Every structure is written in structure tokens, then in C-alpha cells.
Amino acid sequence: DAKTTQPNSMESNEEEPVHLPCNHSTISGTDYIHWYRQLPSQGPEYVIHGLTSNVNNRMASLAIAEDRKSSTLILHRATLRDAAVYYCILRDGNQFYFGTGTSLTVIP
């Protein structure tokens, strides 16, 4: 059901930018691209979402490829609190289908 492909894990140094990639080659024209993150023993937390244009909010930026077949979540300055599993999800009808996400490790 998951329509996205992400690397299993990534590492980043603290206070450096992090670019988390996601491939979604079968995206339809009306699918929104959503990103969530999950800390241990907590529910997923909304990060950002977009349709076609790049999006910015206080947590992150979302860069969407022109053909929409891939996107990148950008954390501008990674902190230790950003260590989490990051999920890239396409809205499929009325529910989200999660993959296994990218586990981000932030190195002090």
C-alpha cells in the first residue's frame, strides 16, 4: 500500500542541514505529499505537506520535484531533538499508508 520509497537510515551532524529524500514515482495528480516524524514511544507528529509548490513552515521545508515523482524534506539545522523516524506519505483516498520511514540519527 505504501507508495513511497525512503532510505532506511541517515546520519547528520548537529547544527548542519539535513536533506531527507523520498521517491513517489506513481503519484497521482491529486495526491498530497505529507511528512510525519515519530519519536520513540510517541505517536507520529505532523511535519509538513504540499501538493506542487515548495512549502516552508517553522519546522522544515519541503522541496517537491517539478514532475512530483520525488520530494525532499529539509531540516535547516539539525538538533538532537530531531532524531526520529521520518515518514513520507501520499494521501491515498481517505487514509495514509505508512512505509518504514527513514531513521535519522543526529550526531553531537
The distance of closest approach from Cβ of residue 42 to other proteins in the complex, given in angstroms and rounded to an integer, is 6
Cα gap 79→98, rounded to integer Å: 25
Instruction: Give the whole-angstrom CA distance, residue 90 versus residue 51.
Output: 10
Determine contact, residues 25/69, Cβ cutoff 8 Å: yes
Q: Which is nearer to other proteins, 31 or 72 (CB)?
A: 31
Q: Are 62 and 73 in contact (CB under 8 A)?
A: yes
Nearer to other proteins, 16 or 61 (CB): 61
Instruction: Please give the DSSP secondary-structure letter assigned to residue 80.
Output: G
Least CB distance to other proteins at residue 26 (A): 16
Cβ closest to other proteins, residue 60 vs residue 87: 87
Cβ atoms within 10 Å of 23's Cβ, excluding its own? 16
- By CB under 8 A, name the binding residues for other proteins: 1-2, 30-32, 34, 36, 41-46, 49, 51, 85, 87, 91, 94-101
User: Minimum distance between the CB of residue 10 and other proteins, rounded to whole angstroms?
Assistant: 16
